[in-house]
Structure 1
Amino acid sequence: MKQIFLRVVSWHNFYAFMWRQIRVYLFFLAMLCLFRLFFIAWMHEYISPAADWDDIGTALWVGLKISCKSAGWLTLFSLSGSTLANVFAPRRETVVCKLLNGVSIIILSILYVARFPYYKQFHSSFNLLMFNTFNDDVYALGISLVKEFYLPIRLAGAFLLAFLLYRLFSQWLACRLLQLKFAFPLSKWFGRAAFLVLLYFGVTLANFGGSLSWATEVDWENAGVTKDSFLNEAILDDVQAVLRGYTMNSRLEACNGLNFDTGQIRSLAAQLTYKEATADNLDEYLQKKAQGPQVAKPQQIFIIISESYANWPLLEKYNDLHIADGMKGIIAEDDSDYCSTFLPNGPSTVSAVTGIVTGFADANLYLTTMPEAFVSPYSTASAPQLKKLGYQTNFWYAGPATWERIGAFTTAQGYEHFYSRGDFANATEGSVWGCDDKYLYEAVLKGVSSDQPSFNVILNVSNHSPFTVDTAKEGFDKNIVIRALPDEAKKDEALVNQLGHYWYADKMLADFIHAAKAKYPESLFIVIGDHADRYNIDKIPSMYERYGIPFIVTGKSVKKGMLPQDAAGSQIDVVPTLLEMIAPKDFIYYSLGTSLTNGNKQGVNYGFWITHDYIGKADVSHFVPEPIGNAMPALNDTALQDYINAIRSISWWRPKYGPILDEDMAANRQ
């Protein structure tokens, strides 16, 4: 045991061992980058004419960064086995190292050869569909792979590639020229310190995807930074693509559904819509007729989903912070109205997107990964219904199209045009999540035509960690905020920076609305936050201040009082409110939510409910309402529970199983 300990802690043994692992890392990094380069060159016909050499360069650079992470994982696999061998069987350590890395090379070679036909078939790198294979007819699939995709030939090519790469790898490890030497002997502390510093930076780059911190790291969710979908897919090496597929498939498998049978759903749908519980088609319950326009039909419509735009800074008690002055000014204008009791659809941005795009609540389904969501738009989807009213439908996102499959998802749900970070000028000005709000709004103002009626959903990202906007340069005076903070928070620089980014999002939002009103006088705007619950001044904020978001409507013909004083709702109520404001009388539309203008007085989401007077947790046996104001009216627990159950059950059944309430069909599709 003593000899083993001395061998392990020996500096020269440690140096030789770790330098070998560094060379393993460099080999895999170079291999993944060369794979990417050849893939782009061989498949160049898939690159759109709009892409240029800058986009290719960006893809190669971002790909290099994300492959730092993949190479790190592959090296960790080798390192784990080699470490055990070095401790317990040192003479076999080299053999174990080559064996483990040989396995990695074989797997990578097979994946790489498969990438080419996979992309041609699905126009994507590996995704969750590869995991759906196990639910398919394996025999039929095997026959198809042999006859249509020449599986034996491709496998032979993959093993030949693996053999050549392994020979190259072995020579790389054995090359004497690669024995790192320091100017100072390794027995000196300087040489040892230098080696450890190099090792530290190498591990950091591998851990954070080619970056030195998580704030700038690249991963599969934010890697699609070019304006070309093929190049965005090429950025992902096969390790990252498989990880994406596994993660998205896991999210899908986590959608276990809710405990409602078809009879309960039918009864709840009837109660929700005040109809007879006789139909087996849910769409008959969701069908509605507009009561007639309440504003002049706008030429341009904008729904802005603002990142982390909580409602609490708009409250009077926080006036001295002056971080929401822009939208407070908008709300005070005669052509604006505001509902302060409103909930997000879920705890994350993707829930807000699905709520606005599909009209369904967050009900234990991950819609952006569900195959059903990509077949055709749901009856309650926003884009097709606005298109019927004569509007071109556009979705504008500050981040990459690959995030949560947002580009593919929104277009599958009927949006005619999708724009993302790669389409905008100055797109590099921003964080890892997307470009700064300023440049997103500039792109919208430049891209929306005054002559074409359009419905535009805008999703920004600047008010999201890592907080990278130079707010001082934009005009933020942090001293004003610090003076208004309680004493215990005045030195909290992180909080001040976060509040500065709320100020930036608010200012850019108000500036955009003013500019858009000037350019498009006949326009209508709806502003909501995607969620709250990110930061508060109070360490223990009230439930209302922690989770509430605003609902703000402004534009031509909007009047104060258009939204009833006791109105409340959630994001599934946004599009019905819009349709009731602009649609002609008897226009048929479909929605789960209810217009705030028609007296909707309650909202529900993944875990909470809200009315004008109370907020509370939804998943409890007995409601414990937390007062929002001073009024204390009685709460009808039974009616509220029925509403929550109706929203959740329909939002679970309709997207997954379709409109027909058929218990046998659901059982067969599990």
Structure 2
Amino acid sequence: MMFSMPAWLSRFTRSRFTWKTLYTGILEGLKVFAFYLAVLSAFRGFFIAWLAPYMGASTGGHDIFLALWRGFRLSMQTAGALTLVSFVPGLLLHYLWPRWERRIVLALNGVLLSVLSILFVASFPFYRQFHANFNQMLFTGANDDIYALLITMVQQYYLPVRLAGALLLAYVLWRGLRALLRCSWLEDCMDGVRLPAPVRWLGRLAFLYLTYIAVLLGIFGGSLGWQTAVNWENAGVTKDEFLNEAILDNVQAIYRAYNLNERMLACNGLDFTTEDIRNLAARLSGKPADTDDLDVYLTKEAQGPQVEKPKQVIVILSESFANWPLLDKYEDIPISHGMRSLIAEDDTDYCPTFLPNGASTVSAVTGVVTDFADANLYLTTMPESFAAPYPTASAPQMEKLGYTTNFWYAGSSTWERIGAFTQAQGFDHFYSRGDFGDVPGSVWGCEDEVLYEKVLDGLDPDTPSFNVLLNASNHSPYDLDLEAKGFDKEAVRAALPEDHQQDEELLKELGHYWYADRELAKFVKAVKEKCPESLIVIVGDHGDRYNIDKTPTMYERYGIPFIITGKGIHKGTLLPDAAGSQIDIMPTIYELIAPKGFSYMAVGSSLTRTNRQGVNYGFFITRHAIGKADTVPLVPESVDGGEPPTIDQQAMEDYINGVRSISWWRPKYGAILDASKLEGRR
């Protein structure tokens, strides 16, 4: 029996490899490369032009040109990758199924252009929301309530309209690419010119050399070698944060987000040895570095109560409740009357220099529930978080002080596994929207007034309880009926700078802050009337969602308020130069109410005793300074807009590294610092 060769293999073996087929194939690849590079560059230029108000006031034409040029070089890498996706299949199809080559190549590029167009259209609302090109929030969202995200995108960001526009854009670009590929001017020139053999060979070598250069530029991001390569890590070279984000095309931004997320999941973003952690923990606690048991360094003793022990302790994590509306410069904008009035009361103290634990709500939850800083771990999904409460967990320690522990959430218990997580960390009871019946609200949760009503009904003046509340109304899609709630939009409009008065989206956002502020104030008043022996702490879960200023200072963008009120609280309860973050909430409460000698465990420390600095996933803060926590050296900015203050560099670096290293090791590897647990991690 004779061997029968498959048809596709027969076609391949009969194919003749000629200079013309090579030239034509490479030329088509170069056309695709040039087309994608032009598209990505045009997208970048339009992005910068459309969102120009987000540029700093001192940004000039030179900065814009630098961003465009740097981005052009970086996008050579993206264009090269996209070209490879369509070029390699096209090359194989040319020999295997030549009849289908053109159709499949065009189809592949149609898909790629659709993805690029959708990302481009989506990048505008994403930047407005997060002041960044695509970042790790994409992966945080993957663990979020997908249905709620979808509804938000439909209601607030007009998903169907944007999607239709993106697909129309993709179709126009696809037609342009098809026309470019059909243009055969260069191929015709080659066929029509008859040159001597030596000249032809020199021309071919020159063409191949230029192709080689184009390949290098695609691999190394506009450079000929890795030494000068442009990549997402070194692309941001301008002095303007917006332009540095615009340098990254959308594909590079997603690649950055993926890399950072992988580092987070692998815990490679924190490179501490066990010796480092022991020494840092010792400095943080003021104890000698003579043990490998981290829990020794985390154990503290209360210095004695500063107020009469309250019957009710309530911590309110208020959605997107930023501190900037409480600043003096914004006092004429009528959206924060409730908290301003509360702060002015004699039984209230306020720390204006406070940071969230992370960029998203789940970090605030883990900060209060576990007292661990956001340190490249996703605690609500880690198996270790469900085995037993961490020794720093707030609920078991409040239970030792005699309190029943309750967690109240406006949304669904399945969001970020919050119901299972909080109960695994020791809360006696968890209540969510599913327990409240058919109540008004958005896809993210019931309205604040509903949540507060349910909590108020659940408070027994004679039964000590510790309650953590997480509300949701001040969250996109910002769909409250503000007019029905009594929001005076025109009064707010009149108080805004003239160039913001017609920004209806901003007015809607400010209206939701107004609602959150009003309902908070009403709830605090109601609690004090029903349970006069109460201690109430109010913080935002995070800031960084919207500002009046398109280029806010670091302090205005990220700061959240820390407000403490109740029986026994007075002006001066908090240190006059207090500063902190959400890991300092529970230590502050312990030091206010616990008897002298009460043993508790915490990473943070009390704003009433010692704490004068805060740190989170990316920033540090003191009473006068704020800055990024990952620069060397640390570069402080003034909180009040004055001259940059000085800080003790070594002390702040030790504090940052101490908080991060402990919060990284303890929940993942346990109490004992054992170097063998790190084997194979690097």
Question: Normalising by structure 1, what TM-score?
Answer: 0.63
Whole-angstrom CA distance in 2 between matches of 1:623 and 1:632: 12
Task: Specify the SS of the correspondent of 1:598.
Answer: coil
2:381 aligned with 1:369, yes or no? yes
Contact 1:343 1:610 (8 Å CA) reproduced: yes
- 1:500-558, CA deviations, whole angstroms, 9 ceiling, x for partnerless residues? 00000000000000001101110010000000000000111111000000000000111
Whole-angstrom CA distance in 1 between matches of 2:368 and 2:274: 26
Letter in 2 for 1:311: N
- Any residues of structure 2 matched to 1:93-492 within 5 Å, and which? 208=150, 213=155, 253-256=265-268, 258-427=270-439, 429-492=440-503
Contact 1:426 1:439 (8 Å CA) reproduced: no
Letter in 2 for 1:299: K
Contact 2:636 2:644 (8 Å CA) reproduced: no
Same amino acid, percent of matched pairs: 62
Give the 3 Å change call, closer, same or farther, for CA 252–585 of structure 1 in structure 2.
Answer: same
Contact 1:425 1:439 (8 Å CA) reproduced: no
- Which residue number corresponds to residue 623 of structure 2? 612
CA shift, 1:573, in A, is: 0.3
Whole-angstrom CA distance in 2 between matches of 1:290 and 1:210: 45
Whole-angstrom CA distance in 1 between matches of 2:647 and 2:681: 39
2:663 aligned with 1:646, yes or no? no
Task: Tell me which of 619, 623, 634 is aligned to 1:623.
Answer: 634
Contact 1:569 1:602 (8 Å CA) reproduced: yes
Whole-angstrom CA distance in 2 between matches of 1:88 and 1:377: 64
Letter in 1 for 2:529: A
CA shift, 1:216, in A, is: 10
Whole-angstrom CA distance in 1 between matches of 2:390 and 2:481: 41
- Which residue number corresponds to residue 495 of structure 1? 506
CA shift, 1:450, in A, is: 2.2
CA shift, 1:88, in A, is: 7.5
Whole-angstrom CA distance in 2 between matches of 1:402 and 1:590: 29
CA shift, 1:286, in A, is: 0.5
Whole-angstrom CA distance in 1 between matches of 2:563 and 2:155: 37
Give the 3 Å change call, closer, same or farther, for CA 628–214 of structure 1 in structure 2.
Answer: closer
- 1:604-652, CA deviations, whole angstroms, 9 ceiling, x for partnerless residues? 0000000001000011112111111358653111110011000000000
Contact 2:351 2:563 (8 Å CA) reproduced: yes
Letter in 2 for 1:662: D
Contact 1:215 1:432 (8 Å CA) reproduced: no
Letter in 2 for 1:468: D
- 1:182-213, CA deviations, whole angstroms, 9 ceiling, x for partnerless residues? xxxxxxxxxxxxxxxxxxxxxxx9x9579965
Task: Specify the SS of the correspondent of 2:472.
Answer: coil
Contact 2:317 2:470 (8 Å CA) reproduced: yes
2:552 aligned with 1:541, yes or no? yes
Give the 3 Å change call, closer, same or farther, for CA 587–212 of structure 1 in structure 2.
Answer: closer
Whole-angstrom CA distance in 1 between matches of 2:386 and 2:264: 14
CA shift, 1:452, in A, is: 1.4
Contact 2:410 2:432 (8 Å CA) reproduced: yes
Whole-angstrom CA distance in 2 between matches of 1:210 and 1:610: 33
Q: Which moved more, 1:621-630 or 1:573-582?
A: 621-630
Letter in 2 for 1:497: K
Task: Tell me which of 558, 564, 569 is aligned to 2:580.
Answer: 569
Task: Specify the SS of the correspondent of 2:679.
Answer: helix
Letter in 2 for 1:658: G
Whole-angstrom CA distance in 2 between matches of 1:484 and 1:446: 37
Task: Specify the SS of the correspondent of 2:561.
Answer: strand
- 1:323-365, CA deviations, whole angstroms, 9 ceiling, x for partnerless residues? 1100111111110000000000000000000000000000000
Question: Normalising by structure 2, what TM-score?
Answer: 0.62
CA shift, 1:448, in A, is: 2.1
Task: Specify the SS of the correspondent of 2:608.
Answer: helix
Task: Tell me which of 583, 596, 600 is aligned to 1:589.
Answer: 600
**Over the residues paired in the alignment, what is the CA RMSD in angstroms?**
2.9
Contact 1:255 1:366 (8 Å CA) reproduced: no
- Which residue number corresponds to residue 171 of structure 2? none
Task: Tell me which of 552, 560, 579 is aligned to 2:590.
Answer: 579
Q: How many residues align?
A: 445
Contact 1:252 1:369 (8 Å CA) reproduced: no
Letter in 1 for 2:446: C
CA shift, 1:215, in A, is: 6.9
Whole-angstrom CA distance in 1 between matches of 2:545 and 2:316: 19
Give the 3 Å change call, closer, same or farther, for CA 213–489 of structure 1 in structure 2.
Answer: closer
Give ranges in structure 2 of 5+ residues lacking alignment: 1-92, 101-146, 160-260
- 1:376-396, CA deviations, whole angstroms, 9 ceiling, x for partnerless residues? 001100000000000000000
Letter in 1 for 2:271: N
Contact 2:151 2:443 (8 Å CA) reproduced: no
Task: Specify the SS of the correspondent of 1:525.
Answer: strand
Contact 1:568 1:603 (8 Å CA) reproduced: yes
- 1:556-599, CA deviations, whole angstroms, 9 ceiling, x for partnerless residues? 11111111111000000000000000000000000000100012
CA shift, 1:455, in A, is: 0.1
Give the 3 Å change call, closer, same or farther, for CA 480–408 of structure 1 in structure 2.
Answer: same
Give the 3 Å change call, closer, same or farther, for CA 260–254 of structure 1 in structure 2.
Answer: closer
Whole-angstrom CA distance in 1 between matches of 2:263 and 2:470: 23
Structure of greater Rg = 2
Whole-angstrom CA distance in 2 between matches of 1:521 and 1:664: 53
CA shift, 1:411, in A, is: 0.4
Contact 2:321 2:542 (8 Å CA) reproduced: yes
Task: Tell me which of 628, 637, 647 is aligned to 1:635.
Answer: 647
- Which residue number corresponds to residue 656 of structure 1? 668
- Which residue number corresponds to residue 517 of structure 1? 528
Give the 3 Å change call, closer, same or farther, for CA 370–216 of structure 1 in structure 2.
Answer: farther
Give the 3 Å change call, closer, same or farther, for CA 625–210 of structure 1 in structure 2.
Answer: closer
Task: Specify the SS of the correspondent of 1:400.
Answer: coil
CA shift, 1:446, in A, is: 1.0
Task: Specify the SS of the correspondent of 2:507.
Answer: helix
Task: Specify the SS of the correspondent of 2:351.
Answer: strand
Whole-angstrom CA distance in 2 between matches of 1:372 and 1:326: 41
CA shift, 1:668, in A, is: 7.4
Task: Specify the SS of the correspondent of 1:527.
Answer: strand
CA shift, 1:480, in A, is: 1.2
Whole-angstrom CA distance in 2 between matches of 1:610 and 1:510: 27
Give the 3 Å change call, closer, same or farther, for CA 216–286 of structure 1 in structure 2.
Answer: farther
CA shift, 1:444, in A, is: 0.4
CA shift, 1:253, in A, is: 3.5
Whole-angstrom CA distance in 2 between matches of 1:313 and 1:253: 35
Give the 3 Å change call, closer, same or farther, for CA 584–638 of structure 1 in structure 2.
Answer: same
Whole-angstrom CA distance in 2 between matches of 1:597 and 1:491: 44
CA shift, 1:256, in A, is: 3.6
